[in-house]
Copies of this chain bind each other. A is one copy, B any other.
Amino acid sequence: MSYRILVIEDNPDMLENIASILELGHYEVLTSENGKRGIEIALKEKPDLILCDVMMPELDGYGVLHILGRNPSTSTIPFVFLTAMSDFSHIREGMMLGADDYLTKPFDDSELLSVIEMRIKKHEQIKSAFDRDIHSIEEFLSRAREVRGSRGISDQLQSRVIKKKNFIFMEGHEPLDLYYINSGLVKTYMMTEDGKELVTGIHGAGEFIGYLPLLENSSYNESAIVLEDTVVYMISKNDFNSLVYSNRMIATQFIKLLADNLFEVESRLLEMAYQSVRQRVASSLMKLFTKESDENGDCPLIRISRKDLSGIVGTATESLNRTLADFRDEHILELTEAGIKVLDKQKLMGVAH
């Protein structure tokens, strides 16, 4: 895409001349012979740069700059004005009104082109500075560290080692941090009032947990308990919020994350409503299988307690057990002490439907 430049100049020859130079420089050129029309074009077309003569009848260049500067949609467009050589004070006046650069007549072609190129480049630079990409989690974390650092709190992200069976956070508590699992295994679950638990997720290394209440500004709706000794990084609520609200890339990343989640939970809801325990067990096993499986699509063993698995399926442990026994009898699974082994993936998928 080529840049569009609006040229406002009352002298037709001059205008023609400038336009042809710019077109040779592969810019798209819009022209106006007076200030009023120039403003109209600027508002409608939002050019990438405006080049405007100062000395014009009716509305002069300062007037144009002044008016465009008041409108938010045009105030950020780079504005370069044209003035007569001798006129020092005119240059000063233009700059004081917020122009970005100037050109003194007479100027040669290369001068014109390099001034315009310079200002467009500078503007692009500023624009892109507001949405630097974040490509990796390390970058996210270091950005988080940056935010933290700029407040002088600490320039090191806090990490914590949490042992098996300990809680990272509990339902009903107020969230203070976002957690990033560096290593280990964590179960998140919700509880009914009579103590039955529904597992909302088994989270391993590289996952974030506990972001929902931060985004929702509410207390935890689930608890997180450690299944295998875990190392978490903590990003404080404030740091997280300023990151999400100030960094476009992080915001869209979290939108993706939430959308993914929502998608999954909704389909789980449908399953929960109308599928039998048998189907749900098969489906949950398939999910665990694919999650744990390596690049060859093989998963040696699914290691999970009956209680947790029943919590994922959303059924009583006994019911789960009977279903697993059924699957074993049908030679779909092998139940060993070490864990559950899938023998017939096809058949399992068939049951899950």
Name the B residues within 8 Å of A115 (CB-CB): 95-96
A353: interface (CB < 8 Å): yes
- Per-position contact with B for A258-281: 1 when CB-CB < 8 Å, else 0? 111111011111101111000000
Given contacts A244-B252, A248-B248, contact A274 B198 (CB under 8 A): yes
Name the B residues within 8 Å of A262 (CB-CB): 212, 258, 261-262, 265
**Choice from B72, B222, B248, B272 contacting A129 with Cβ under 8 Å:** B72
Given contacts A76-B125, A96-B118, contact A265 B266 (CB under 8 A): yes
A32: interface (CB < 8 Å): no
A321 to chain B, nearest CB (A): 17
List A80-128 residues whose CB lies under 8 Å from chain B. 95-96, 98, 100-102, 114-115, 118, 121-122, 125-127
**Choice from B126, B194, B256, B272 contacting A269 with Cβ under 8 Å:** B272
In whole angstroms, how far apart are the Cα atoms of A216 and B121 in the complex?
A: 34
Name the B residues within 8 Å of A193 (CB-CB): 353
A192: interface (CB < 8 Å): yes
- Per-position contact with B for A228-258: 1 when CB-CB < 8 Å, else 0? 0000000000000000111010011011101
A137 to chain B, nearest CB (A): 19
Count identical subunits in the complex: 2
A314: interface (CB < 8 Å): yes
A173: interface (CB < 8 Å): no
A6: interface (CB < 8 Å): no
Contact B251 A129 (CB under 8 A): no
Contact B314 A274 (CB under 8 A): yes
Contact A260 B216 (CB under 8 A): yes
A3: interface (CB < 8 Å): no
A193 to chain B, nearest CB (A): 6
Given contacts A190-B267, A221-B267, contact A129 B198 (CB under 8 A): no
- Per-position contact with B for A287-314: 1 when CB-CB < 8 Å, else 0? 0000000000000000000000000001
A200: interface (CB < 8 Å): yes
Name the B residues within 8 Å of A265 (CB-CB): 262, 265-266, 269
Name the B residues within 8 Å of A126 (CB-CB): 75-76, 126
A46: interface (CB < 8 Å): yes
In whole angstroms, how far apart are the Cα atoms of A80 and B126 in the complex?
A: 16
Name the B residues within 8 Å of A96 (CB-CB): 114-115, 118
**Choice from B102, B129, B190, B248 contacting A245 with Cβ under 8 Å:** B248
- A-B residue pairs in contact (CB < 8 Å), sample of 10: A75-B126, A96-B114, A100-B100, A130-B130, A190-B270, A198-B269, A198-B274, A221-B266, A258-B258, A273-B315
Q: List 13 other contacts, CB 8 Å, given A76-B125, A76-B129, A222-B266.
A: A72-B125, A75-B125, A98-B121, A98-B122, A130-B131, A193-B353, A196-B273, A198-B273, A212-B259, A244-B252, A251-B251, A258-B258, A272-B314
